[in-house]
Each structure stands twice: as structure tokens, then as C-alpha cells.
Structure 1
Amino acid sequence: MSDLHAHTVAYVRESMIPEQVAPVTERGAVKWMRENLFNGWLSTILTVLSLLVVFWIVADLGPWLMRSVWDAGSLSECRRIWAEAGQPAGACWGVINDRLHQLLFGFYPPHLYWRPVLALVLMIPALGPILYPWVPRKLIWFSAVYPFLAYFLLWGGSIWLPVTAAMGFVAGGAALVLLRPLGTLPATIAAFVVPVIWWIVAAGPFAAVMTQILPIGIEFVRSDRFGGFLISLVIGVSGISLSLPLGILLALGRQSDMVLIKSVCVIFIEFIRGVPLITLLFTASLLLNYFLPPGTSFDLILRVIIMVTLFAAAYMAEVIRGGLAALPRGQYEAADALGLDYWKAQRLIIMPQALKIAIPGIVNTFIGLFKDTTLVVFIGLLDPIGLSNAIRASSDWQGIYWELFIFIGAVFFVFCFGMSRYSMYLERRLRTDHR
């Protein structure tokens, strides 16, 4: 009996049970809602309250948006269209249709709109090799040339002004290479001093002479013709691009063992962080010329870019210092064990890890800087907010509010949301764990 039982009872499964459909509560949208919206009494209450708020907003704004008027030359024309249709007032988007060029370019000459548009288009390949690893690295030369090309396109005038400014950076790079055998510190100091001497002493006469010999240029546009999102992009992109490297240097200087360098960096950071940005903008507008040589005429937008850059760099330095402080001491010891000097250790080991840790804070500073460009309205530069006030002061659009501010807020949201998404992409790309 035992032998028969041994041969007839199977302890190893010979066939698999067919797959069963998961319960309704464990699949699809129902599962997602149960886990994310109704996974407890507090979550359920908050979900219901949120749905009520969304319903209230849609019920209030929906009819207003449904009665939108796009083709109108004034607010009175919008009101006439609503009256003829027997409808209450809705959204008069005709102001955007009528003043879009002004919101984008300010008072930039209309026949020269192609220049800021071309500068914006060229910015895409210039940022490509910096932001994305799959873009050919050979384009990095265009990234270095682009700031001077963009200045020439936007302001115009003689081509020798941006060329002369670029020659200062070339002279600094040459000094760094030639003096490197003497040591890292002398070469680094020379890389900063030589361009400054060139710009202060020789750049002006050289540009004047070359303009007389080869008068190459395009129509000049004064800074007071800039406005709208054009000026926000110019100040924002310039401040973002310049504040990051300057913030890195300030963060390293604050952690330096050299007392003089550390003291200068600490004083600069604490002073800038303790002063409101609007005060620095007034300084750029009214006082900065007093610190320049007599007879010097410095463009207002360039003065604002300098102050915005210094303001953002002080905050950037503290963000990066937080990333440096988060690194374990073993990383510094590993760099010393490999025999790397200070700059190689920072470039190859320390700074890449610190910047990866500080990515959220860095992008947060960038977003805040871009939104703070609206403060230039207080010194007479007509950013989108300033232009909206000018538009509403005209007789055609007096009394219009929401449409302008919704459009301006939406455009700012697109730029800021794009920076936020890129920071999340960068964090995912640089993640070294397997979570």
C-alpha cells in the first residue's frame, strides 16, 4: 500500500494554475486613487476639499473663459461684442493679440525684430553641449562665442566692441597657460588680472582704432528701447550664466585657508545677502557711474546685469558651500592620496559631487533670479509688468487687468517649470544608487 501511494501522490506540480485577473481595487485607476487619494481619513478629507476648490474655480472661471474675445482693438470693442451677443462680460484676450509684440520686445524697432529672435534661436545650440551630454562636444566653441554674438545682435553698433571684450578672455586664458609652470596660484591671479588690465587700459583705444580702420557693424539700439520678456531673458540668462561660476569661486574662497581671500569672500557674501536686491538695482541705476573713470558711459542694462549677478552669486555660494559641507572627509583624503593638487582635486573629485548634491538649491536660486527680473521696473526698465502698467494706462485698454497678468504669469511659469523639470532630469541622470 505504501508503494502504491508513493507512486500515485505527486509532490511536484505538473501544471501551472492559470493567471487570474486582479481584483478591481488592485488594478488601474481605482488602485491609484485608493493608494494616493483615499488611503486614510485625512487623505480622504483633503481630497474632497481639493475637489471642491477645483470645482469652485472651474465653475467661476469657466463661463468667463468661454466668453473670450480675441479679435478686438480695445476694451470698449470687447464690451460691444458681448452686448451684441447678449452675454455678460468675459475674457478680453484682444489685448494680448493687440500688444503681443510690445509684451515680447518692448519698444525694440519693429524692423529689427529678427535680431532678438535670431539671438534666442542661436541660444539653443549654445546651451546644448552644456546641458545635455548627447550633444556633440565640438559645439562648446559656439557656447563660448555666443555671449559676444548675442550682444552684437541685440545692441548692434560696431562689431569691435564685443570682439575687444572677447580678446580680454583670450588674454586671460593665454596668461593662465603661459604662467602655469610657475605655479597654480600665480597663473590663476594672472588669468584674472590680465583681462581687467586689457579692458580698462587698452580695450577702448583698440576698439576705436579698429572702428576707424574697419567700420563693420549694424544699426545700434539703445537700452531704453528694450523691454518686455526680451529684457527679462537678457538679464535672467546673463545672471544665471555668470552667477554659477562666480558662486563656485566664492564658495571655495570662503573655505580657503588663506585669511585674506576668506575674509574678502565672507564680507562680500554677508554684505550682499544682507541688502535687498532693489537697493542694489538703485545702486546700479544711480551710483555705479560714480565708481567708474570720468567720462565713462556704462549701459544701464549691463549695470543691472552686474548687480543681479553679484546678488545671485552670493546666494549661490552658500548653496554650493552646503554641497561641499555634505561631502565626507574621506573624499578630500582620497584626492590627497591620489597626489592631486588643489584645483585638480576640486575639478575631478570634490566639485562634481558637491554640485550634484546642491542641484535643487542651485535651480531654486536660478528660478528666483529669473522671477526677480521684474524688479527692474523700479529703475525705469519696462519688463512685462512695467509694460502691462503702460498698456493699461492707454485709453484703449484702461480697466483691463486679469488677461495681462494671467498671460505674463503663464509665460513665467513655462520658463520656471522648464528649469524645474531639467533639474529633475539632471538628478536622475547623475544618480549613482539603484533606488
Structure 2
Amino acid sequence: MSDTHAQSVGYVQRSQIPPAPPPSAESGAFKWMRENLFSSVGNGILTILGLATIYYFLAWSLPWLLNGVWDADSLSECREILAGEKGACFAVLTERWNQLLFGFKYPPSEYWRPLLAFILLLVCIAPVLFSKLPRQLLVLTALYPFVGFWLIWGGSIWVPVFALLGFVVGFMVYRRLERQSFAIGFFGGVFAAVVFWWLSGFVVPDLSRIIGISLPAVASRDMGGFMLNLILGTVCISLSLPIGIVLALGRRSKLFIIKWICVVFIEFIRGVPLITLLFVANVVLAYFLPPGTTFDLILRVIIMITMFASAYIAEVIRGGLAALPKGQYEAADSLGLDYAQAMRLIILPQALKISIPGIVNVAVGLFKDTTLVSVISMFDLVGMIRGPILASTEWNGVYWELFLFAALLFFVVCYSISQYSQWLERQLNTGHR
């Protein structure tokens, strides 16, 4: 037995064997390719076809992009420089960049104004987008619409100042009457603001003569390019969200008249194409105004696009309200909160979190739909390409370069909105666990 025991002890491992590396097919790039690209025969065939498509696309597009001409005065000069080789004529972008961004009538000496307004937009919207910033910065957000209007349109500074004071008066009246009823406070605030603006119309001209702080006025018909798309998109998205919330709450109201007014508005607007509403804003609306009345075209378009987007956002938010369990409403009642407090503190914050993907979807679609204004002779980015630029003899025949530039601008804005919404969802943890 002792010999057997001694013999067995000799085979006992006294030190740890170093770990062996995994097989090459089970680690690194080989494992990723096997799991994601060649997990089956069908997926392998689709992967090969996809790679072949990408190869042929790059083989066609890269020479066209890399051989592009950036310095020329016309399409014919671009072709002379290329001398029969494949290449893009990007010179149209370097020569007409100002028209693509600002239109062909906005004064070149005033380009700094919309640029400054855009930079201030990014700064002032940050407190709304990122909750970790100091709440005091929301004052800048509230002031921006009036500052941005004055920078872009110009004119006397007293116009935006009194417009701001009108909102302040309306808000103060709303807070005082809110205790009686939300509806009374809301309509009382609106009435007070309208009366203040009407009275200020008699004061602004005199103040403008006494203290003449102003910028050169720019008419709405002189605005165009991508600047017009940004104006319409920013203003309409900002206005349609609160209006959509009011419509969604009104559609769920127990008051028969309020409910059916909201139902008829939402269903009618959602049943009419946006292009029809734009034609109404451009042509038909003038027939309902008194003779000699001028109604700014951009304002008419903003009203129609805002109405269109508000109806869709109202349905998105209504879905978020319906997704909340009944216990949330009962919890608000048990705390003794009235309707306005329950909606502001408990119901709407949760419903809006649920509705983030739908709201962003409407916002992205709305921003892209701003290009439809080109059909009513407004020279936005697409209107500038289809109209003055392609109609000129120098650049008639340049298509890919211009429309790829337009696609790039819209992609940057829409992709940024989409990425922000995904980040916001992760921050708010909107997933139900």
C-alpha cells in the first residue's frame, strides 16, 4: 500500500497551471464577426452582399468627392478644370453659401445678426435641455424670444420690450386668478396681455422718437435660406408643445364643450395635409381679413405649422396620459391637490417622460416639413436651390452638390435632436422595470 501511495503522490499537481488562451474563434474580432456577421449561412450571404454594395458605392463616390472643384465661377469652368475626369463642382457652395444660409435679399452687412441670434439660441436653450445647470439661467431662456426677434427682424427695441412686459402682466394676472380656477386664470391672463399690447401700440411710436434704439428693419419677405428653416422649426416646435399639452388635457376634460372643441380641432387638423394649410395661409387667409390689412406671411405660416404640429403632439401626450395607472390620479386626490396642481406636479411630468419618443418624432418631422414652404414661393434652403440658384445660367445643371449640402444640414439638426432625446430618456430612466 505504501508503494502505491507513494506512486500516486507523485502525480499530484503542486502549482497552478497558467490559464490557456481561448481558441481564436472564440475571442476578439473572430468571435464578433462569427456572432454578428456570419452567424448563419443566410446572414453570411447578406453580409457579403452588403460589403459588395458598400465597396461599389465608395468606388463610385470617393473619386467624385475627392476630385471636387472648390474654386470656380460657373459649372462650365468646373468642367474645364476637371477636363473630363469624374468630380463634384463644390464651387457652387463656396460662391452661393450666403444665399443658401440667409437667402438672396437679407442685407449682407447684417449677417452678424442671425449668426448672433443662433449662438444665443444655443446658450439660452441649454438651461431647458440640461437640468443640472442653475435654474437662474432660465431667465435668459425667457428673454431670448424677444432678443432673437429684435436681432433678426430689427426695428425699434421698444417693440420686444413691451411684448415682454405684456407677457409679464398676463402671468401676474394668471397667478392671481389661478386660485379660483385654472380656466379663469388662463383666460384672464391672456385677456390682460392682449389689452396691454393694444395700449402699448399708442406708446411705442413716441418712445421710439424719444429714445431711438433700433436696428435696420428687415422685412419677412427678405428672409430665406436655412435661416428661414431654423426660424420656422424653432418657433413652431416651441409653440406646439404647450399648445399640444392644452389640447390633450382639453380632450380628456369632463366639460362637454371644451372636450369637443379640442376633438374637432385635433381631428380636423390631422385629417388635412400640411401643404393644404400652407396654401390657406398664403392665399385663402387674406380673403377673411379687412381690405388693406397686411398680415405677415411668416407669421401666417408659423400659425398654420404650429396648429398642425400641436394636433399631433396632443395625441402623443394623450397616449402618455392614458398610459399612467389610475392610482396616480387617486394619489393626487388623496393629497388634496386641485386639478392644476395635480397635473403640474404629478401627472404631466410622468406623462411627458413616457411621451418623449413620440414628441421627438413629431419635432423631427416638423423640422423637415419646413421645406414645404418652398411651394408657396418662400425661399428657404430648398426654395433657394430650386429657384434662384438653379435658375441662374452659371449653375444650371448642378444638383447633387446642392441637395447633398441641404441633406447634410438637415441631418446634423435632426440627428442632434434624436441623440438628445435618447440621452434624456436615459437620464430620466423612462423604462418600466
2:165 pairs with one of 167, 185, 193: 167
1:376-395 equivalence runs, <5 A: 376-389=373-386, 390-395=388-393
Task: Flag the 1:187–1:399 CA change in 2: closer, same or farther, 3 A.
Answer: same
Task: Flag the 1:286–1:52 CA change in 2: closer, same or farther, 3 A.
Answer: same
Alpha-carbon shift at residue 190 of structure 1 (Å): 1.0
Q: Is residue 206 of structure 1 aligned with residue 203 of structure 2?
A: yes
2:343 pairs with one of 343, 346, 367: 346
Residue 148 of structure 2: aligned partner: 150
Q: Deviations over 1:258-304 (max 9, x none)?
A: 11111111111111111111111122122334445665422211211
Alpha-carbon shift at residue 36 of structure 1 (Å): 2.0
Alpha-carbon shift at residue 158 of structure 1 (Å): 1.2
Q: Is residue 314 of structure 1 aligned with residue 284 of structure 2?
A: no
Q: TM (normalized to structure 2)?
A: 0.92
1:249 pairs with one of 246, 249, 266: 246
Q: Deviations over 1:286-333 (max 9, x none)?
A: 233444566542221121111111111111101111111111112111
Q: Is residue 271 of structure 1 aligned with residue 268 of structure 2?
A: yes
Tell me how far apart the structure 2 counterparts of residues 309 and 433 of structure 1 sit (CA, whole Å): 30
1:65-214 equivalence runs, <5 A: 65-83=65-83, 87-106=84-103, 107-199=105-197, 201-214=198-211
Tell me how far apart the structure 1 counterparts of residues 268 and 282 of structure 2 sit (CA, whole Å): 19
Tell me how far apart the structure 1 counterparts of residues 297 and 47 of structure 2 sit (CA, whole Å): 50
Tell me how far apart the structure 1 counterparts of residues 431 and 310 of structure 2 sit (CA, whole Å): 30
Q: TM (normalized to structure 1)?
A: 0.92
Q: How many residues align?
A: 425
SS in 1 for 2:100: helix
Residue 47 of structure 2: aligned partner: 47
Residue 331 of structure 2: aligned partner: 334
Listed as ranges, the gaps of 5+ residues in structure 2 are none
Native 8 Å contact 2:353 2:430 kept in 1: no
Alpha-carbon shift at residue 208 of structure 1 (Å): 2.8
Q: Is residue 428 of structure 1 aligned with residue 426 of structure 2?
A: yes
Tell me how far apart the structure 2 counterparts of residues 432 and 217 of structure 1 sit (CA, whole Å): 47
Tell me how far apart the structure 1 counterparts of residues 210 and 257 of structure 2 sit (CA, whole Å): 45
Residue 361 of structure 2: aligned partner: 364
Task: Flag the 1:360–1:17 CA change in 2: closer, same or farther, 3 A.
Answer: farther
State which drifts further: 65-74 or 123-132.
65-74
Q: Could you tell me the percent identity over the aligned residues?
A: 54
Alpha-carbon shift at residue 17 of structure 1 (Å): 5.5
Task: Flag the 1:20–1:131 CA change in 2: closer, same or farther, 3 A.
Answer: farther
Task: Flag the 1:298–1:34 CA change in 2: closer, same or farther, 3 A.
Answer: same
Tell me how far apart the structure 2 counterparts of residues 20 and 229 of structure 1 sit (CA, whole Å): 60
SS in 1 for 2:178: helix
SS in 2 for 1:400: coil
Q: Output the amino acid matched with 2:180.
A: L
Native 8 Å contact 1:125 1:139 kept in 2: no
Listed as ranges, the gaps of 5+ residues in structure 1 are none
CA RMSD of aligned residues (A): 2.3
Task: Flag the 1:169–1:17 CA change in 2: closer, same or farther, 3 A.
Answer: farther
Native 8 Å contact 2:354 2:430 kept in 1: no
Task: Flag the 1:358–1:182 CA change in 2: closer, same or farther, 3 A.
Answer: closer
